[in-house]
Amino acid sequence: MHIAVTGNIGAGKTTLTTMLSKHYGWDAQFEDVDHNPYLEDFYADMNKWSFALQIYFLGSRFRQVKEIRESGKNIIQDRTIYEDAHIFAENLNDMKLLSDRDFSNYASLFDLMKTFVSAPDLLIYLKSDVPNLVKKIYKRGREYEASISIEYLSKLNQKYEKWISNYTEGKLLIIEVDDLDFVEKPEDFGFILEKIDAELNGLF
């Protein structure tokens, strides 16, 4: 079984993925952030590094897709390949930080890869508003993310809302996380588990 956690920067994906992996005994797959050779440069100059970063994330995420297909294990994945293309790359192109030529080159590669990608059995969308995303990004304290603007997060949130409202590839669970503190409050984590268990029961 393949579960994926989706949502904007700072929504709580990595935290929840870690907790769910422990709770259910699933293998977790995380994003390539700490050893990513472009991310810090990207935040310093998005125009210059957007294409290189998108290609890097696409390759890294496709490698995960391949592992998920081949492993036969229950896996929980922190962010999907769809978000790279439909949220981040599209938004950079809208913001003119990724040229039309580079975006079209990227999109044709993504379309080819997509033919090998199976949607997760369950997609869990962590919905959060921009002020709360800002608070959590600040709490996490990655220095290079200090330059992330409200405008960038808002545009990404709009893309997420649009993508999620059209998502029909598999089961979808939307969790509004702004009033939940699943890190500190076991009852809030319990609330999420109940929702997930209800979805999982429908899968078997």
Ligand X SMILES: Nc1ncnc2c1ncn2[C@H]1C[C@H](O)[C@@H](COP(=O)(O)O)O1
Ligand Y SMILES: Nc1ncnc2c1ncn2[C@@H]1O[C@H](COP(=O)(O)OP(=O)(O)O)[C@@H](O)[C@H]1O
- Minimum CB separation of residue 48 from ligand X in Å reads 13
Please, which of residues 125-154 interact with ligand X by CB under 6 A?
145
**Residue nearest ligand X (C-beta atom):** 88
- Minimum CB separation of residue 6 from ligand Y in Å reads 9
75 dihedral zone (left: phi>0; alpha: psi -120 to 50; beta): beta
Alpha-carbon span 18 to 76, nearest angstrom:
9
Return the number of the residue (96 or 139) whose C-beta is nearest ligand Y: 139
Of 3, 4, 13, 56, the residue at the interface with ligand Y (CB under 6 A) is: 13
Return the number of the residue (21 or 103) whose C-beta is nearest ligand Y: 21
Residue 39's binding partner, choosing from ligand X, ligand Y, none, with beta-carbon cut-off 5 to 8 A by kind? ligand X
- Contact 42/36 with Cβ under 8 angstroms? no
Alpha-carbon span 195 to 162, nearest angstrom:
23
Active site residue 78: yes
- Contact 93/110 with Cβ under 8 angstroms? no
Return the number of the residue (55 or 200) whose C-beta is nearest ligand X: 55
Q: Among 78, 94, 100, 129, which one carries the catalytic annotation? A: 78
**Is 123 among the residues that bind ligand Y (CB under 6 A)?**
no
Give buried/exposed letters for 3-17 (b at 16+ CB in 10 A, else e): bbbbbbbbbbbbbbb
Angle, to 10 degrees, between the axis of helix 186-203 and the axis of helix 13-24?
70
Binding site for ligand X (CB under 6 A): 9-10, 13-14, 31, 33, 39, 53-54, 57, 84, 88, 145
